[in-house]
């Protein structure tokens, strides 16, 4: 055989390269209380489709890759245009390129999907319109394309990464109490945690530092306010962009 080199793979001038539409979408997570139970749960904003295929269905915010923007920049651009959101935490999730992603529609689209966390202040910037709506992650309607699969995968990714990384503060503002941080972990992991042990583990990890301030206005002993210790980096087992390798994002 003489197909040893990349001869077949790269025709002259690239004019034989298969070109596909390249979309960029994002799964954005925020925490808010469930309207029924009142417990904190995962929510995400979806955008209503206004044309075929899947017209009227809810879909992930996103758009096409811009020729003059890299992947993450395109994700941020489409995100702010469709939802108004500019998340601090944004990370690539996966590239989806199955052949049957668009049901009957024969168009081939490859999607680079990102996932993001927003805290309440960021989420408040979201566009308020009939075409943008927040849904509970565990109570989604039928979504467009394979977006339900993508959301499920992103939820799984968030849950597993929460256990070994310190992404929880993506859901919190500049300062926060240990109880708030614990509530984030409880909401995402879906179980209650011992406050005493949680405190010791977090403090031992050196992930946060005391601001010296306390939160007042509660009907009990005022809790300390903490901030994230940006000086300390933790091991990360998830996909970071190569330039961030042994650093921790956010």
Footprint of DNA (CB under 7 A): 177-179, 194-197, 199-201, 204, 214, 216, 218-224
- Does the N-terminal peptide bond of residue 28 adopt cis geometry, omega within 30 degrees of 0? no
Q: Could you tell me the sign of the dihedral formed by the alpha carbons of 15, 17, 19, 23, in that order?
A: negative
Q: State phi, psi for 73 to the nearest 5 degrees.
A: -65, -40
The distance of closest approach from Cβ of residue 187 to a copy of itself in the complex, given in angstroms and rounded to an integer, is 20
Select 22 or 193, whichever has its Cβ closest to a copy of itself.
22
Residues 6+ apart with CB under 8 A from 14: none
Q: Could you tell me the sign of the dihedral formed by the alpha carbons of 101, 115, 234, 166, in that order?
A: negative
Q: Which does 178 bind (CB under 5 to 8 A by kind): a copy of itself, DNA, none?
A: DNA
**Binding map of a copy of itself across residues 76-95, x = CB under 8 A, - = no contact:** --x--xx---------xxxx
Does 108 help bind a copy of itself (rule: CB under 8 A)?
yes
Place of tokens 């017209």: 55
Are the C-beta atoms of residues 58 and 135 closer than 8 Å to each other?
A: yes
Residues between 7 and 26 that touch a copy of itself (CB under 8 A)? 7-10, 12, 14, 16-23
The distance of closest approach from Cβ of residue 61 to DNA in the complex, given in angstroms and rounded to an integer, is 34
On the CB side of 80, how many CA atoms lie within 13 Å of its CA? 10
Select 126 or 215, whichever has its Cβ closest to DNA.
215
Does 55 help bind a copy of itself (rule: CB under 8 A)?
no
Q: Which does 223 bind (CB under 5 to 8 A by kind): DNA, a copy of itself, none?
A: DNA
Which has the closest alpha carbon to 154: 113, 205, 101, 195?
113
Q: Which does 15 bind (CB under 5 to 8 A by kind): a copy of itself, DNA, none?
A: none
Select 216 or 243, whichever has its Cβ closest to DNA.
216
Q: Which does 104 bind (CB under 5 to 8 A by kind): a copy of itself, DNA, none?
A: none
Does 68 help bind a copy of itself (rule: CB under 8 A)?
yes
Q: Which does 126 bind (CB under 5 to 8 A by kind): DNA, a copy of itself, none?
A: none
Select 197 or 230, whichever has its Cβ closest to DNA.
197
Q: Please tell me the count of residues contacting a copy of itself according to CB under 8 A.
A: 74
Q: Could you tell me the sign of the dihedral formed by the alpha carbons of 8, 10, 13, 16, in that order?
A: positive
Stretch that binds a copy of itself, among 116-124, 154-162, 190-198, 211-219 (CB under 8 A): 154-162
Are the C-beta atoms of residues 28 and 116 closer than 8 Å to each other?
A: yes
Question: What's the rounded Cα separation, in Å, for the pair 91 and 213?
Answer: 32
Question: What's the rounded Cα separation, in Å, for the pair 88 and 168?
Answer: 12
């Amino acid at each position: 055989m003489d197909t040893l080199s990349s001869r077949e793979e790269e025709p002259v001038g690239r004019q034989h390269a298969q070109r596909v539409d390249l979309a960029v979408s994002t799964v954005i997570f925020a925490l808010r209380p469930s309207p029924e139970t009142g417990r904190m749960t995962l929510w995400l904003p979806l955008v209503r489709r206004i044309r075929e295929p899947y017209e009227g269905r809810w879909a992930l915010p996103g758009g096409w890759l811009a020729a003059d923007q890299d992947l993450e920049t395109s994700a941020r651009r489409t995100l702010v245009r469709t939802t108004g959101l500019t998340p601090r935490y944004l990370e690539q999730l996966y590239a989806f390129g199955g052949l049957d992603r668009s049901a009957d529609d024969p168009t081939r689209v490859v999607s680079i999907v990102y996932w993001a966390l927003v805290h309440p202040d960021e989420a408040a910037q979201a566009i308020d319109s009939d075409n943008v709506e927040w849904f509970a992650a565990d109570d989604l309607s039928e979504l467009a394309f394979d977006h339900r699969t993508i959301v499920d995968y992103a939820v799984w990714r968030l849950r597993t990464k929460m256990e070994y990384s310190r992404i929880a503060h993506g859901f919190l503002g500049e300062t926060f109490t240990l109880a708030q941080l614990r509530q984030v972990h409880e909401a995402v992991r879906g179980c209650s945690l011992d406050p005493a042990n949680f405190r010791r583990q977090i403090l031992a990890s050196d992930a946060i530092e005391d601001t010296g301030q306390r939160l007042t206005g509660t009907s009990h002993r005022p809790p300390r306010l903490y901030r994230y210790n940006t000086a300390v980096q933790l091991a990360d087992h998830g996909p970071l962009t190569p330039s961030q390798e042994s650093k921790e994002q956010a």
